[in-house]
Structure 1
Amino acid sequence: MKIDFEITDQYNENKVLHVLKNQMKLSGRLIKKLKATGGILLNEKPVRTVDTVKKDDILSVIIDFNEQVDIKPEAAEFSIIYEDDCFLAVDKKPGIPVHPTAGHPTGTLAHQVLAHFINQGLSIKVRPINRLDKDTSGIILFAKNSHMQDQIINQMKENRVYKAYLGIVHGVFNPLEGIINLPIARKSDSIMERIIDPAGAPSITRYKTLEHHKELSLVKFVLETGRTHQIRVHCRAMGHPLLGDWLYSDIQTGLIERQALHSHILAFDHPLNGQRIELMAPLPVDMKNALAVQQS
């Protein structure tokens, strides 16, 4: 991937290194790699980071590394929502882990995405930017290089990435729309479970009830923070746990075989051109079926 930057009056007579770090927002680690591979160009010619630039020059970087990966590709079909030279967005099915763990060393979305990259002739690592629980469905965004990953992570820190989920909960929120602002911490005797704790990390979820069917509601959740299990914990705390949530609900159901939570919308500013990218994954079949039973 090639990134070009036209030098403006603001950066006239600046060092190449200054422009790379301050305008193009490249990390020191990436700049070091680019120097080693000859991937820094000024007007299409190799340049040193100590050299100066002038107005109307074109400073370019070529991010094209052969990276070592520590997992094996596993070819499988998955739904691609969006793809360009920088990103891949996938609509993850429920029941598939995003990345390998001790309990799931194979059969993950990362293995499948690696096979997809290899088929494209790419030798790159799999870099998921957002993460979903194994049984949560919906949008997962992958970066095709470390620079794009860093850029979106920085947008997340600045609260510029919009993340909306759809969930089916027991009962009806009162009021139908509002903000849940309750701190979350890890339960002391568990490596997985989270609880509401005054000493926990600040955690804010906006919610809006979209539909109500008998004992269940379809709710849109928008995350302002990104704590582990945030929506699941907040729903339990409000007395309206997610349908099928085996960890945070004691209510048994035969309507669905996992927590009814889906990553529905993800929006961010594309680092190359500033364009707002909005990705959407439709409500999955199992959640539609659960609602349909309540409607009948």
Structure 2
Amino acid sequence: MILKYIVERNNKYKTIREVLKNEFKISSRLLTKLRSNKKVLLNGFSTYFDKEINFNDIVEVYLNYEEDNSNIVPNNIPLDIIYEDESFIVINKPAGIAIHPSCLHYDNSLSNGVKYYFDKIGLKKKIRPVNRLDKDTSGLVIFAKNEYIQECLVRQMNSALFYKEYMAIVNGILEQKSGVIDVSIARKENSIIERCVSNDGENAVTLYEVLKSFDNLSLLKCILKTGRTHQIRVHCKFIGHPIIGDTLYGTKSDIISRQALHAYKVKFIHPLYNNTVEFCAPLPDDFRKIIENEI
């Protein structure tokens, strides 16, 4: 992958560094890595970042350098690939698989499967999931293929440019068919994992719409305006309609073996092509059977 900037007559930058930081918005950390790998060229030659640029100069950034990814063990795990290009790969994660390995479980995570796939296609890059899902939440996970793309997508996720839509099946019939849940979330005292509603927490906003009600259950479309840990799960509990199967914030379910939460859709600006891209992950079988009253 190559980023290219051609200096025009009305160019607003004086140096290569200004192009890298302001045009491409490359972080200081990545700039250091690019400099040490000599991956920034001016008119085809390695250069220093404070060099002044002139009309018709061509600044190129090469992101094809190899990285050590030996910290992740490759596992031949089937991947449901929704989309892939030179920038990122979008995967439909099944419930029951973690995104990251841990010190106690160093294999059989989604990252282990992506490492195996990268080895297979000859891509020696670190494994970089852009978004996170709980182990028992299914749906879309994006892996960036280099550090620059990761920075671009994370920056969008921290703004209003990144759209995230989930499907959830909750207990009960909601009186309001749509609404906004705007309550702050914090880590629960004396707990590493559990979160709770708290005035001292971080701002958290979820939009919801009831798509279907049946058998004292409701199918919700949830749109995240912020990205707090367990946000939808905590917010659903707060309004008195916990997600079914969520044993942390609700109770065990007889009709589904995990929390009924699915990352259904994402929409964002492609970091390279600057167009809007949208991806959807079909509802998994355990969801579909409940919705279609097959259980």
Deviation of 1:46 after TM superposition, in Å, equals 2.7
Aligned residues of 2:233 and 2:242 also touching (Cα < 8 A): yes
Match of 1:269 in 2: 269
Aligned to 1:51: 51
SS in 1 for 2:157: helix
Q: Trace 1:1-296 onto structure 2 (pairs within 5 A).
A: 1-11=1-11, 14-69=14-69, 70-250=71-251, 252-293=252-293
The offset of 1:10, in angstroms, is: 4.4
Letter in 2 for 1:65: Y
| Counterpart contact for 1:177–1:209, Cα < 8 Å | yes
Give the distance between the partners of 1:102 and 1:46, measured in 2 at CA: 41
Sort the Cα spacing of 1:200 and 1:12 in 2 relative to 1 into closer, same or farther, 3 A: closer
How far 1:13 moved relative to its partner? 6.5
| TM-score for both structures, normalised by structure 1 | 0.95
Cα distance in structure 2, aligned partners of 1:192 and 1:292 = 33
1:43–1:59 contact (8 Å) kept in structure 2: yes
The count of aligned residue pairs is: 294
Provide TM-score, normalisation by structure 2.
0.95
1:246 & 1:104 partners in 2: Cα distance? 22
| CA shift digits 1:210-231 (9 cap, x unpaired) | 1111211111000011111000
Q: What SS does the corresponding residue of 2:160 show, helix, strand or coil? A: coil
Cα distance between partner residues in 2 of 1:80 and 1:23 = 31
Question: 1:196, 1:38 → 2: CA distance?
Answer: 49
Moved more, 69-78 or 4-13: 4-13
Q: Displacement, 1:135? A: 0.3
CA contact under 8 A between 1:83 and 1:89: conserved in structure 2? Answer: yes
- In 2, the alpha carbon distance for the partners of 1:11 and 1:44 equals 20
Instruction: Structure 2 unaligned segments of length 5 or more: list them.
Output: none
- The range that moved more, 169-178 or 9-18, is 9-18
Amino acid of the structure 1 residue aligned with 2:262: H
Listed as ranges, the gaps of 5+ residues in structure 1 are: none
Alpha carbons 2:184, 2:204 under 8 Å: kept: yes
Q: CA RMSD in A?
A: 1.5
Q: Percent identity?
A: 39
| CA deviation string 1:172-193 (max 9, x = no partner) | 2221101001111111021111
Shift of 1:261: 0.3
